[in-house]
Structure 1
Amino acid sequence: MMKPLLLVAAILGLGGCQSLASYDPLGRDVASPLPDACQWSAQGDAEARVRATADALETQGYRIEQTEVALGLVSAERAKAQPGLGAVDRPPWGRSGFWGYYGMGSRHGYSLGYSQRFGGDPVRLQRISVVAAEGVVRVTRDSRVVDANGYLIDARPDNSAAFCAALHDDIDARMREGSSS
């Protein structure tokens, strides 16, 4: 009598784990659209728009990764140190810092090891893509915070209406400036 109840409990328990949806922190929720300020109608020459977009992003400290005039694409990235964000919950052994890494193990014998690496502050990586397709310019931005060892601390879409509106104004001003000269 006990074995069938245990089997049923195990099946229900494992079935419950399967029914939980996993969350992708880097994925944009397709059901929630971009803010209105992050999309506007494409005006003017495509080459001038790509050039103005690249200049506007470089002014904000972004490094241009790729441009493609035919697609109206500009992708860029910037990195900024985030002092103080390195205090994350991790086991004290195997963590970098002043005391380094310690290890002891056995595969085909015994070994003892020590490695010293002086870590740095976590870095916030912001990636942005500006695409003009079908007569509409769309801006998408995401943000990741990664520690010196590559441990992902935070990741999320970072599409703010204020950022997009300021970028749109800067691009338009640069295009007007370019067309008047």
Structure 2
Amino acid sequence: MMKPLLLVVALGLGGCQSLASYDPLGRDVASPLPEACQWAAEGDAKARVRAVADALEAQGYRIEQTEVALGLVSAERTQAQPGLGAVDRPPWGRSGFWGYYGMGSRHGYSLGYSQRFGGDPVRLQRVSVVAVEDIVRVTRDSRVVDVDGYLIDARPDNSAAFCAALHDDIDARMREESTS
């Protein structure tokens, strides 16, 4: 009688484990880049850096840094994320419609209060394109931060579709520059 009961319990618990939901943040950060995010570097390095910068700016990115010797272009863009403000916050401090308040102590007691009216979380996407050893590599990451600086989400965002479209745009811009 005990063995069948243990078998039923083991199968029941095993079934619950196999139905566990997918964790998008559990993705392996050290996983290799998609093939579309790496390609052979062709043409002049200076022209390539200019084409990369122009292609990223056309997608709404702001160029942060360029270095022709490394073939490096770093860029970022921000986008408001309406509706993502309903997240679990840290247990310190309280918030509500009437503002934020808290108490603290440093050589005595103090009371603080601030009011803010609205504001949506922001998605910050960063892209780096670098050409080393005649290979162009594209990496992209994404963070979502609320207006108070609380991190909602952070992950690598190396999409094969993004890289392929960027590669096509860079190649088109380099061909256009070489014919003019």
TM-score norm. by structure 1 comes to 0.79
Deviations 1:13-70 (A, max 9, x none): 9999999999999999475210000000000000000000000000000000000000
RMSD of Structure 2 on Structure 1 (CA)? 6.0
CA contact (8 A) 2:125 2:143 kept: yes
CA contact (8 A) 2:127 2:140 kept: yes
CA distance in 2 between partners of 1:16 and 1:110 (Å) = 54
Q: Which moved more, 1:167-176 or 1:91-100?
A: 91-100
> Which 4+ runs in 1 deviate beyond 3 A?
1-10, 12-31, 95-98, 104-113
For this pair of structures, how many residues does the alignment match? 180
* Matched position secondary structure for 1:96: strand
CA contact (8 A) 1:93 1:101 kept: no
* Matched position secondary structure for 2:149: coil
TM-score norm. by structure 2 comes to 0.79
CA distance in 2 between partners of 1:135 and 1:117 (Å) = 50
CA contact (8 A) 1:79 1:125 kept: yes
CA contact (8 A) 2:29 2:156 kept: no
Q: Which moved more, 1:103-112 or 1:161-170?
A: 103-112
Listed as ranges, the gaps of 5+ residues in structure 2 are none
Displacement of 1:104: 3.3
CA contact (8 A) 1:25 1:155 kept: no
* Distance 1:143-1:30 versus aligned 2 partners, 3 A rule: closer
CA distance in 2 between partners of 1:89 and 1:38 (Å) = 35
Q: Percent sequence identity over matched residues? A: 91
Q: Which moved more, 1:98-107 or 1:140-149?
A: 98-107
CA distance in 1 between partners of 2:104 and 2:2 (Å) = 41
Displacement of 1:6: 29
CA contact (8 A) 2:95 2:101 kept: no
